[in-house]
Structure 1
């Protein structure tokens, strides 16, 4: 049964997801700073989602909602999702929070490039100009050769954005036949199996406060993923992704309150270019999606 599109709901869900994800990333960075190893944080980010969703569905007699005839697609989504998770949470450990968040905004730029290279989509001057402007913003922020943005951290941040572009397309495809809760459950279940194998190498004794942080990361990660998946179920990727830019507000605020970090002038110069490029791409793709004829799409591009 086709999913009814609800653009306003999708935008609100994505806005809530941006806040939840910004808070989650802050907690991951903070928790790592207390001495908890990154590998264990990844496990606790994924594992609590499995019993939370299973118990909730069981209490309502709705475990059948987890059934799927596309497990191979869930496995592919889990593989890409784990790579993306490592990069998404690894970048803030290597970079200031606001800068790593700004790099995540390059996802629409990679989506355009992937559309051209993999899907052979015709990309016109509007979107190629946006891509060029966005990558110019990256150069301004990164300032190649300066210590403020380590090259490896920058590469991880950009890699995370690239993976999000791939995963968003994958989730959109899965959402045609799978419920958001099933997509979230199977990703968490499959990734937890992989991450648990590393626990003997990463696990250490924790204080009650560190346990509280890890549990909060797991619960908040579940909420954020449900919100992200639901937003893609009710709205187009190009439309809802603009809400992600609100996370820069929270990242800047958290960076100031928790680490006393204020982004330098180069970040404020480069960020508008990246954000503007993403908004232009989203607007252009929304405009093209309303043109019924493929030939008209090319003509108007």
Structure 2
């Protein structure tokens, strides 16, 4: 789950710092998803999970705005774009959290790696981009990876067709979010977008909590707090990593989430991914990284010659 914001060509880069921030984002995302699954096991409704995730990320987003560009940066002439991003973003979060609840942690994480693959397809449909044969082959390879994971012959404990379907739908919606962020990023700072996503999603969630909110024990509320803080920290680390390094540099760190998710899945649920998941994950990750690399090549060639590579 990468942001559409990229470093400017003239901006100072700190590769090691950027990689460290992205690695911390991967750890935070894994902790966030593990908490989502854990609180669901403890009887927390999905609506409650979404509410506490956004409620606890809002103060963190506001803090980042205050120490960064300042409160004046929250003024916007594009509130409608933020509303659209919030609606799609909440749909994506609902689906992704649902996939984490229904699937083993590692499998849900692996299917989430298909976001760049679906983003390539959506860029053709909505942005009229024209990927060449290299990127289309990478897309095809990514789908082969997904097919390996969900192949009926390779299905193992905890992997259900419903969970896989929700996970894939969540990846499609998340890829659409990346296109929205690319458009919003032309006029809005990333911190502004993060703040409005949290702020605009809370009113409808507060209404929903009237029907779905429950009182839980202290341990469950502690997990919900950890979930919200980890989710907010992940957004912060992810956005900050792109301040100090380009997408093509930091993207490989995203795939370490499979390692952290596997570790947490083993520690908390004694669940380990099967061989097909590892094989599919390698293929999906490789295709996604290749798509990002080809995008970098295309931008570089366009900048130098005015002609994009395929």
TM-score, length basis structure 1: 0.89
Change (3 A) 1:62 1:275: closer
The Cα offsets for residues 196-238 of structure 1, whole Å up to 9 and x where unpaired, read as: 1111221112111111111222222221122233345555545
Counterparts of 2:62 and 2:186, CA distance in 1: 22
Match of 2:236 among 208, 226, 232: 226
Asked if 1:88 corresponds to 2:96, the answer is yes
| Unpaired stretches in structure 1, ≥5 consecutive residues | none
Asked if 1:70 corresponds to 2:81, the answer is no
Change (3 A) 1:83 1:269: same
Q: How many residues align?
A: 298
TM-score, length basis structure 2: 0.87
Counterparts of 1:22 and 1:117, CA distance in 2: 31
Change (3 A) 1:7 1:169: farther
Shift of 1:68: 1.7
1:296 corresponds to: 307
The Cα offsets for residues 88-129 of structure 1, whole Å up to 9 and x where unpaired, read as: 111110101000000011011101111222222222221111
Match of 1:210 among 220, 227, 234: 220
Counterparts of 1:7 and 1:120, CA distance in 2: 33
Match of 2:268 among 251, 255, 258: 258
Shift of 1:37: 1.3
Counterparts of 2:69 and 2:156, CA distance in 1: 55
Counterparts of 2:249 and 2:69, CA distance in 1: 35
| Unpaired stretches in structure 2, ≥5 consecutive residues | 1-6
Choose 29-38 or 227-236, whichever is displaced more. 227-236
> RMSD between aligned alpha carbons?
2.5
Counterparts of 1:22 and 1:85, CA distance in 2: 14
2:27 corresponds to: 19
1:195 corresponds to: 205
Q: Look up the SS of the partner of 2:130 in the other structure.
A: coil
Q: Look up the SS of the partner of 1:198 in the other structure.
A: helix
2:177 corresponds to: 167
8 Å CA contact 1:133–1:277 kept in 2: the answer is yes
Counterparts of 1:61 and 1:283, CA distance in 2: 30
Counterparts of 1:23 and 1:13, CA distance in 2: 15
Shift of 1:36: 1.3
2:111 corresponds to: 103
2:4 corresponds to: none
